[in-house]
């Protein structure tokens, strides 16, 4: 059976998050899911992390020579888009027979740009499981079993023409997907934090977020027993090497009853697991937080994004600062480590509203010990609501490379603030941000990855 190689391309920021435990392959969970689906359907699949440095690329070239995959799929995020195309070029130049497929958020949102590269044969839009399988069938059969024009959710070339097929619908029932098989990557060095996903998409409509563009603001969940089975399998497979579980869902508590059922299963089987998740302020209650804390939840991340209610209303965040403060307090009182993310440089920000964000960060820092405060710069990622309306919103993009769209440096100016204004606010917030020693110690106590 033909082999398929899937490459999880990492960028510097992700290294810190994911490699706190050392340099081991921990590919994107979405890529592992595609690999599992392909294997389930008879393809030999391997998944590995990749960094576009010489040493890694030399190793990759050796591995391709040895394994001879017929397809190399690369996941692409905006900040690594240029590097993904570089990796595609290197592979194609040495192995012209391999079909190169790009997928992932950036490829889904900027497919026409990705397909223009001579090294790229197909771009997969949005969810990749079924689409990659059909591409694999087409490549394996030399086009006899299925033709590209009959594969929804792809962009490809026909001579000089670029063809954009109709989109494939989102997978309605996530339980039809096989449970992700971690063994498709090298898990021998896995320890510490293990990622797992229980849902896809988010019903929110925050104007800066790609989730809406990718999932159409639809929140789809796995049956909680099916999800629990995966957690159980991870514990059996990794034992104590799995020190904690990170539930990667945009909003794990989107349906609170489901979280309560998960907790019931943990209790029923006395499964002692430390876990953390991301959630939304509007999906939390004191009761839920208390139950989560009693049953292994050690950390929750909330996106607060601004200290100005007016800004929050304008960016579609749909949260009330008063309620946010309440939820933060409940979470802290329950003993759960809180991670809060903020952004400055929203289109409707002014120096004053950014000052309100700074003020809120400072107040939270002074009030709570077990808290991690993260500040980044609003960044218009292609495909997001704000990106497609930048002119109307009065935003000027001051970046000419995708790798600059990485949240770590300001890239937007408006009539009301400059890049320097944002840097100034950031500098003032810096003493309160999460990588200070005090927070680092608190984070270490909660088992969270530490910034170097
Ligand atoms: S709540 Fe979070 S995941 Fe959902 S749209 Fe807003 S930023 Fe995106």
Q: Residue 36 sits in a domain of what CATH number?
A: 3.40.50.280
Q: Check whether residue 335 and residue 259 sit in a common domain.
A: yes
Ligand 1 atom closest to residue 210's alpha carbon, by position in its atom list: 8
Atom of ligand 1 nearest to the CA of 316: 6
Query: For the segment 100-125, what is each residue's pLDDT rounded down to a tens digit?
Result: 999 999 999 999 999 999 999 999 99
Provide the pLDDT confidence category of residue 24 given band limits of 50, 70 and 90.
low
Domain housing 114: 3-164
The residues with which 412 forms a beta bridge, in sequence order, are 397
| Protein residue with least CA distance to atom 5, ligand 1 | 204
Residue nearest to atom 3 of ligand 1 (CA): 250
Amino acid 303: pLDDT:
97
Span from the CA of 164 to the centroid of ligand 1 (angstroms): 28
Q: Residue 436's pLDDT is what?
A: 47
Judgement on whether residues 148 and 231 belong to the same structural domain of the protein: no
Residue 179 lies in a domain: no
> 256 C-alpha to center of ligand 1: Å?
17
Q: Are residues 311 and 431 in the same domain?
A: yes
Domain count, the chain: 2
Cα angle: 32, vertex 38, 42; to 5 degrees: 140
Asked whether 250 lines ligand 1 (CB < 6 A), one says: yes
Least Cα distance to 449 among 195, 88, 166 occurs for 195
Same domain as 213, residue 330:
yes
pLDDT (tens digit per residue) in 284-318: 999 999 999 999 999 999 999 999 999 999 999 99
Mean pLDDT of the chain: 92
Choose the residue to mutate in 199, 212, 282, 327 for probing ligand 1, maximizing ligand atoms within 8 Å of C-beta: 212
Residue 6 has pLDDT above 80, yes or no: yes
Judge whether 75 lies within some domain: yes
Say whether both 283 and 401 belong to one domain.
yes
* pLDDT score at 12: 56
Mean pLDDT of 319-336: 97
231 plus 351 within the same structural domain: yes
Of 10 and 249, the one with more pLDDT:
249
Q: Which pLDDT score is estimated for 216?
A: 83
Q: Determine, yes or no, domain membership for 185.
A: no
50: confidence class by pLDDT, cuts 50, 70, 90: confident
> Cα–Cα distances in Å, from 247 out to 155, 227, 233, 438?
31, 10, 15, 26
Please work out whether the CB of residue 206 comes within 6 Å of at least one atom of ligand 1: yes
Say if residue 229 is in the same domain as residue 120.
no
pTM of the model as a whole: 0.91
Beta bridge partners of 134: none
206 Cα–ligand 1 center, Å: 6
Residues 136 and 44 in one domain: yes
Residue 420 has pLDDT above 60, yes or no: yes
């Amino acid at each position: 059976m033909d082999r398929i190689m899937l490459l999880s391309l990492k960028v510097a920021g992700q290294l810190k998050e994911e490699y706190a435990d050392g340099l081991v392959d921990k590919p994107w969970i979405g890529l592992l899911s595609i690999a599992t689906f392909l294997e389930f359907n008879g393809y030999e699949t391997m998944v590995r992390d990749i960094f576009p440095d010489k040493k890694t690329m030399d190793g990759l070239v050796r591995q391709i020579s040895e394994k001879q995959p017929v397809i190399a799929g690369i996941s692409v995020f905006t900040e690594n888009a240029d590097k993904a195309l570089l990796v595609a070029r290197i592979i194609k130049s040495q192995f012209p027979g391999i079909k190169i497929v790009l997928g992932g958020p950036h490829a889904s949102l900027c497919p026409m740009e990705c397909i223009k590269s001579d090294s790229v044969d197909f771009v997969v839009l949005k969810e990749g499981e079924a689409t990659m399988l059909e591409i694999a069938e087409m490549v394996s059969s030399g086009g006899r079993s299925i033709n590209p024009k009959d594969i929804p959710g792809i962009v490809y070339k026909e001579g000089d023409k670029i063809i954009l097929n109709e989109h494939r619908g989102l997978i309605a029932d996530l339980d039809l997907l096989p449970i992700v098989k971690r063994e498709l990557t090298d898990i021998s060095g896995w320890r510490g934090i293990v990622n797992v996903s229980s849902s896809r998409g988010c019903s929110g409509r925050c104007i800066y977020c790609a989730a809406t563009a990718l999932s159409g603001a639809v929140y789809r969940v796995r049956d909680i027993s099916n999800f629990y089975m995966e957690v159980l399998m991870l514990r059996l497979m990794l034992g104590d090497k799995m020190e904690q579980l990170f539930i990667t869902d945009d909003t794990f508590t989107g349906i609170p009853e489901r979280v309560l059922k998960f907790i019931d299963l943990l209790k029923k089987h006395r499964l002692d697991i430390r876990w953390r998740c991301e959630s939304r302020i509007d999906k939390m209650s004191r009761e839920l937080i208390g139950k989560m804390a009693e049953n292994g939840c050690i950390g929750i991340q909330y996106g607060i994004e601004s200290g100005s209610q007016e800004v929050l209303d304008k960016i579609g965040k749909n949260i009330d600062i008063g309620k946010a403060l309440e939820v933060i307090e409940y979470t802290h009182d329950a003993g759960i480590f809180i991670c809060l993310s903020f952004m400055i440089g929203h289109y409707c920000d002014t120096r004053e509203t950014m000052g309100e964000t700074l003020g809120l960060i400072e107040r939270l820092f002074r009030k709570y010990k077990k808290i991690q405060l993260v500040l980044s710069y609003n960044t218009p990622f292609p495909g997001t609501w704000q990106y497609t309306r930048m002119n109307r919103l009065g935003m000027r993009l001051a970046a000419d490379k995708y790798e600059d769209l990485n949240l770590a440096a300001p890239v937007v100016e408006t009539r009301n603030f400059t890049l320097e204004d944002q840097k100034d606010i950031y500098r003032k917030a810096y003493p309160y941000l999460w990588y200070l020693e005090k927070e680092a110690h608190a984070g270490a106590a909660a088992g969270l990855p530490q910034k170097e």
